[in-house]
A and B are shown apart, each in its own frame.
Chain A
Amino acid sequence: MIKQISVFMENKPGRLLEVTKLLASNKVNIRTLSLADTAEFGIARLIVDSPEAVVEILKNNRFTARITPVLAVEVPDDAGGLAKVLEVFSESGVNVEYMYGFVEKRHPDKALLVFKVEDPERSKDQLIAKGLTVISEKDIMF
């Protein structure tokens, strides 16, 4: 499991820029960022090194941010990689709230898929049982 940072965003121009500028000035490297929104508000989801410290920086600058535990699964970057993971979720009746993916730095041929599920601990065990690679915090290269 890894720690993702979720930041509340009002849908206003420039909000994302403010977040990224703030992190840049604090020398925080954003490993990946996914942005989801409705007409009304958005949530920016970030994977960074030392998430606890970054949440503090965001809070001190009046952003609303929190840590969300998510699953990061390593799959080969070719056809069928995602389907394999989803099959496991489907079989055990796990609902995926959202997901996004990014390419790994250390293995350019592998992709990292990030999943938000209700009970990540349980899903993690099921994925490992099916021979899938669940990545932990220290495995991600920044």
Chain B
Amino acid sequence: MIDCWDKTNEFLTREKLEEKQLVLLNKNFQNAKKSTYYSKAFSKIDKFSSLKEIEKVPFVTKDDLRENFPYGFVSVPKSELVRLHSSSGTTGTPTVVFYTKKDLDDWAELIARCMAMTGGTKEDVFQNTMGHGLFTGGLGFHYGAEKVGMLTIPFGPGNSPRQIWFMKEFGVTVAHILPSYAMHLYSGFAEAGIDPKELKLKTAYIGAEPHSEEMRSQIEQLYGIKAYNSYGLSEMCGPGVAFECKYQNGMHIWEDHFYAEVIDPVTGKVLPDGEEGELVLTTLQKEAMPLFRYRTKDLTRIIPGVCECGRVHRRIERIKGRSDDMLILNGVNTFPIQIEKALMKVEGIGRNYKIEIHKRGYMDKLVVYSELTEESFTDNFKDLEQLKCKVIESLKSELLITPEVHLVRPDSIEVLPGKAKRVFDMR
């Protein structure tokens, strides 16, 4: 039996999928015109006779959402809204998204697909370590897991000793966790004297922050599990937009719910599959708050070709970074994820790191703090110097700039539960 939830929609042919997309696009368009924003923006558009015609619609950005705060994009009477989620709003007005009953049900369906696709069943015990409040990560998975029929533990973030206790006592088999928190939690296991490999845990869903392939394989090795990459954003629904299947080779976008394009972030030109750019998404089934051509700021590419699993829903590569967290160091574009990738390659380097960027004279200097491991400290300066050189070399070959590297004690770099802040621009 194939691991899947919604066989009909997951295994559509490409032709049928695109037919369905066009029908949904037009339906969605009629619905969207009821919102204040789209009643103006769509006044000159009649209908879409092909998917390609979506290119005549202007992009929508986070700024547009803010300017039309709070109800400018809402297409249903307020009495139909049953929930809202919101970003933290640390950089201004928060981004607030709304859901109807059907939106919530669709969202749970998508999460159920993600979970079933990776082998999740009603026999599983699921611990959800994401925040269950305004953040979509917690509640999104919560209802999906319940739909699958898993015993669901809405734990929320933090409190590592108690997380571990729950995992052990209830034989947790599936966890939803931030990659940085998975790394952090591992030291909690060491302190508790428990080898996580002895747990029943077999699957982790990791997402909500960009992470490298190297970090994924570290998590898999440390815990002795499979870790699947999860992608989503609250503007679309939350998690459940794109997800890895068992082949772990890119994340399938649920294209019967989201129409995906990759554009050149500077010119806005749509790029062919395979080329790297900014992901732009259109909701196809959202009732409360349909969005057309939303610029995600996430940089990725669509992997050409069909996946071995047989789903024609196209795959995106893991997120390389956000077009707004790109660092420009002495004119060279650099992404924090590249730094992580380079660090994870070096043996003897610990799990946590911190990056600072300083201005030295006219030049930018990348300063990396990286942890030793208990094993890599040998009472010998030569070994320490060599390790440091290896870190510098690895970073240099990835970034083409020479960083300043400081080795620090194991577990001395603090990682708070929640989206880890690792980059500090001091310029």
- A interface list, Cβ under 8 A from B: 6, 8, 10, 36, 38, 40-41, 43, 45, 62-64, 66, 68, 97, 116
Known interface pairs A41-B384, A64-B372. Does A10 touch B379 (Cβ–Cβ under 8 Å)? Answer: no
Known interface pairs A10-B408, A10-B409, A41-B407. Does A66 touch B377 (Cβ–Cβ under 8 Å)? Answer: yes
Q: Are B412 and A38 in contact (CB under 8 A)?
A: no
Q: Are A66 and B379 in contact (CB under 8 A)?
A: yes
Q: Are B379 and A64 in contact (CB under 8 A)?
A: no
Known interface pairs A62-B412, A64-B372, A64-B374. Does A45 touch B379 (Cβ–Cβ under 8 Å)? Answer: yes
A63 to B381, CA, bound (A): 17
Look across to chain B and name the residue whose beta carbon is closest to the beta carbon of A9.
B409
Determine if B410 is an interface residue (Cβ-Cβ < 8 Å).
yes
Determine if B209 is an interface residue (Cβ-Cβ < 8 Å).
no
A41 to B408, CA, bound (A): 9
Q: Are B407 and A64 in contact (CB under 8 A)?
A: no
Please give me the 6 A-B residue pairs with the lowest Cβ-Cβ distance, nearest first: A6-B379, A68-B379, A8-B377, A64-B377, A64-B409, A10-B408
A10 to B406, CA, bound (A): 9
Look across to chain A and name the residue whose beta carbon is closest to the beta carbon of B385.
A38
Q: Are A40 and B407 in contact (CB under 8 A)?
A: yes
Determine if B364 is an interface residue (Cβ-Cβ < 8 Å).
no
Determine if B146 is an interface residue (Cβ-Cβ < 8 Å).
no
- Among A38, A64, A97, chain B packs the most CB atoms within 10 A around the CB of A64
User: In the complex, what residues of A have CB within 8 A of residue B315's CB?
Assistant: none
User: In the complex, what residues of A have CB within 8 A of residue B408's CB?
Assistant: 10
Q: Are B372 and A36 in contact (CB under 8 A)?
A: no
Considering only residues 363-377 of chain B, those with a C-beta below 8 Å from chain A are 372, 374, 377
B384-421 interface mask toward A, CB cutoff 8 Å, 1 = contact, 0 = none? 11001000000000000000001111111000000000
Determine if B267 is an interface residue (Cβ-Cβ < 8 Å).
no
Q: Are A97 and B380 in contact (CB under 8 A)?
A: yes
A64 to B409, CA, bound (A): 6
Smallest distance from the beta carbon of B288 to chain A beta carbons, Å?
Answer: 49
Smallest distance from the beta carbon of B161 to chain A beta carbons, Å?
Answer: 16
A82 to B39, CA, bound (A): 92
A45 to B381, CA, bound (A): 13
A100 to B56, CA, bound (A): 78
User: In the complex, what residues of B have CB within 8 A of residue A62's CB?
Assistant: 409, 411-412
Considering only residues 167-212 of chain B, those with a C-beta below 8 Å from chain A are none
Q: Are A8 and B409 in contact (CB under 8 A)?
A: yes
Q: Are A43 and B379 in contact (CB under 8 A)?
A: yes
User: In the complex, what residues of A have CB within 8 A of residue B381's CB?
Assistant: 36, 38, 43
Smallest distance from the beta carbon of A51 to chain B beta carbons, Å?
Answer: 13
Look across to chain A and name the residue whose beta carbon is closest to the beta carbon of B369.
A10
Smallest distance from the beta carbon of A37 to chain B beta carbons, Å?
Answer: 9
Can you identify 27 A-B contacts, CB atoms within 8 angstroms? A6-B377, A6-B379, A8-B372, A8-B377, A8-B409, A10-B406, A10-B412, A36-B381, A38-B381, A40-B384, A40-B388, A40-B406, A41-B384, A41-B407, A43-B381, A45-B379, A62-B411, A63-B409, A64-B372, A64-B374, A64-B377, A64-B410, A66-B374, A66-B377, A66-B378, A66-B379, A97-B380
User: In the complex, what residues of B have CB within 8 A of residue A66's CB?
Assistant: 374, 377-379
Considering only residues 82-101 of chain B, those with a C-beta below 8 Å from chain A are none
- Among A8, A38, A62, chain B packs the most CB atoms within 10 A around the CB of A8
A89 to B362, CA, bound (A): 51
